[in-house]
Structure 1
Amino acid sequence: MELLHFTGQVWRPPYEASSQLLQVTAGCTHNKCKFCSLYHGTKFRLSPIAEVEEDLKVIQDYQPRARRVFLTGANPFALSYNRLLDLGLLIRKYLRHCESIGMFSRISDIKSKTVEELQNLRHLGFDSISIGTESGDDDTLAMMNKGYTANDIIEQCKKLEEANIRYNFVYLTGLAGRNKGEQNAVNTANAFNQLHPFTINFVSLTVFPESELYQEIQCGNFVEATEHERLLELRTFISNLCIETTLLGNTVSNTVPFVGMIPNDKVRILNELDSAIRNAGEDELRLYRDSIVSL
């Protein structure tokens, strides 16, 4: 059996489970976020076009009717407009039934592309881009070396909206640290309320030894939020959210999994969180967190 080229760690969002994976990059162009260990030890690598074409030929043989392709790597949207254009045309050449192309992106990856260029990419099928925003609070973003501000999030995602490209956000509870979740939640909700993310995906901070943040915790420079604080932060964020979107909180890192649409399911989700806050013990919740070996 012919094998596809994959280098280092390969991650995809849960909602991309049915998508055909195609490597165009490996690793992360930024690789400075304190909390992240997802691409530990993997240097950023750009897949040669010839290698991508080899993989597409294999996919054409085994999955010729693939309708969606997800480009792997931490942030393939960092590639230049022309490179993405070439990749989109190549995918269309080999997978004629492909309707859309997704990938991870950083906010900074959007900045270099004009609205017109984004519109052209949308015409080629680039859509439903997943963005690891993590927070919309400037203090938290700066502390974690995200490399952009809340205003950057708003400006760049409005460009995506103008180009009719759907996008998905990630919100990382606990990222602000002990006693700072309320501020993080309110400021992030205020930022997100100015936009129209297709989904908001919830992850709860789970620190692994490979991350810079792990070392800061050991030195006492960062104190983790308690599990109950995270649930209260999550509740505050959702209660302050005023837009129509889908909430996906069913990843392994969430002690209280949930899925729903707002505003329709807002009351139900808040009630579920309230129940957990009242009835779940801190030790029980922390024991679950400590049992997580991989995200």
Structure 2
Amino acid sequence: MELLHFTGQVWRPPYEANAQLLQITAGCTHNKCKFCSLYYGTKFRLSPISEIETDLQVIQEYQPKARRVFLTGANPFALSYNRLLDLGLLIRKYLPYCETIGTFSRIADIKQKSIEELKNLRHLGFDGISIGTESGDDETLARMNKGNTASDILEQCQKLEEANIRYNLVYLTGLAGKGKGHQNALNTAAIFNQLHPFTINFVSLTLFPESELYQEMKEGKYIEETEQERLLELRTFISALNIRTTLLGNTVSNAIPFIGMIPNDKARILKELNVTIKQISESELRQYREDIKSL
């Protein structure tokens, strides 16, 4: 069997389990977020068109009726509009049954594209873009070197909405640090409440030695939130949400996984969180986090 070209770490969201993966980039264009070690040691690289076309030929042979393709790399949406346009046409050439194309994106990647360009990309099938927002609190975003502000999140996601591109947001509990989770939750909810994300995905901060924030923690420059604080932060965030969307908290980083739609399942999820806060000890929750070897 012919192998596809994959370089370094390959990640996809849990909800892309049925998508056909296609490498477009490797590594991250930004690579400065203090908490992140997902692409540690991998320099950003664009896959040559020859590689992409060869991979599409292999996919055409083994998955000719693939209906969704997910482009791998930290943020393939960083590519120029013209490059993405060409890629969309190339995918359609080899996979005529493909209905949608997903990818990771940074907020800065959307900023480079006009609404008209985004509409054209949507016409080609780009939809279900996954954005690592992490927070909507300016203090936390600046502290973690995210490279965007809360108002940037609002502005760029509204552009996606105008272009009819669905998108998925991420909220990273624990990121703000000890004593700041409540502020982070309320400020992020205030931003997300002005948007219409297809899903909000919950991840809980899990630091590995390769990250800059791990070193800051070891030096006493950053103090982690306790596990109980994270649950209280999560409860505050969900309580403050007043939009219709799907909540996905089923990654390995969440000691207590959950999934549901709001507003319908809001009361149930909050009840489950309250039970967890009362019944599971800090030491048990912390042990779970320390046992995580990889995200």
Common topology (TM > 0.5) = yes
- Pairing 1:229-268 to 2, within 5 Å after superposition: 229-268=229-268
Q: Does 1:187 align with 2:182?
A: no
Corresponding position of 1:37:
37
How far is the alpha carbon of 1:43 from its aligned partner?
A: 0.2
Give yes or no for the alignment of 1:12 onto 2:9. Answer: no
Q: Aligned-pair distance for 1:81?
A: 0.1
**Who is 1:167 aligned against?**
167
Q: What amino acid is the match of 1:228?
A: Q
Displacement of 1:256: 1.2
Rounded Cα–Cα distance in structure 2 between residues aligned with 1:156 and 1:68 = 24
Q: How does 1:53-132 map to 2 (within 5 A)?
A: 53-132=53-132
Amino acid of the residue matched to residue 144 of structure 2? M
What is the root-mean-square deviation in Å for CA atoms of aligned residues?
Answer: 0.3
Runs (4 or more) in structure 1 with deviation over 4 Å come to none
Find the aligned partners of 2:225 and 2:256 in 1 and give their Cα distance: 16
Q: Deviations over 1:250-275 (max 9, x none)?
A: 11000111000000000000000000
Deviation by residue 1:91-121 (Cα, 9 ceiling, x = unmatched): 0000010000000000000001000000000
Instruction: Tell me, in whole angstroms, the C-alpha distance in 1 between the residues paired with 2:121 and 2:50.
Output: 21
SS at match of 2:203: strand
Measured in 2, the distance between the counterparts of 1:279 and 1:140 equals: 30
Q: What residue is the counterpart of 2:24 in the other structure?
A: 24
Residue in 1 that maps onto 2:215: 215
CA distance in 1, matches of 2:194, 2:77: 23
Q: Distance in 2 between matches of 1:256 and 1:197?
A: 23
Q: Name the SS for the 1:156 alignment partner.
A: helix
Task: Could you tell me which runs of 5 or more consecutive residues in structure 2 were left unpaired when the two chains were aligned.
Answer: none
Output the amino acid matched with 1:251. T
Counterpart-to-counterpart distance in 2, 1:269 and 1:218:
34
Aligned to 1:272: 272
Letter in 1 for 2:105: S
Distance 2:285 2:96 in 1: 48
Give the whole-Å Cα distance in 2 for the aligned partners of 1:116 and 1:122: 10
Identity %: 79
In 2, the alpha carbon distance for the partners of 1:163 and 1:282 equals: 45
TM-score (norm 2): 1.00
Unaligned runs of 5+ in 1: none
1:31-72, Cα deviation, whole Å (9 max, x unpaired)? 000000000000000001111000000000000000000000
1:167-188 Cα deviation digits (max 9, x unpaired): 0000000000001000000000
Partner Cα separation in structure 1 for residue 155 and residue 36 of structure 2: 25
Aligned-partner SS, 1:260: strand
In 2, Cα distance between equivalents of 1:30 and 1:265: 36
Describe the SS at the equivalent of 2:101: strand
Equivalent AA in structure 1 for residue 210 of structure 2: E
What secondary structure does 1:66 align onto? Answer: coil
CA deviation string 1:66-85 (max 9, x = no partner):
00000000000000000000
Quick check: 1:286 aligned with 2:270?
Answer: no
* Count of aligned pairs between the two proteins: 295
Displacement, 1:231? 0.1
Q: Which residue of 1 aligns with 2:154?
A: 154
Which one-letter code corresponds to 1:232 in the other structure? L
Q: Distance in 2 between matches of 1:251 and 1:3?
A: 28
* Cα distance in 1, alignment partners of residues 20 and 251 from structure 2: 21
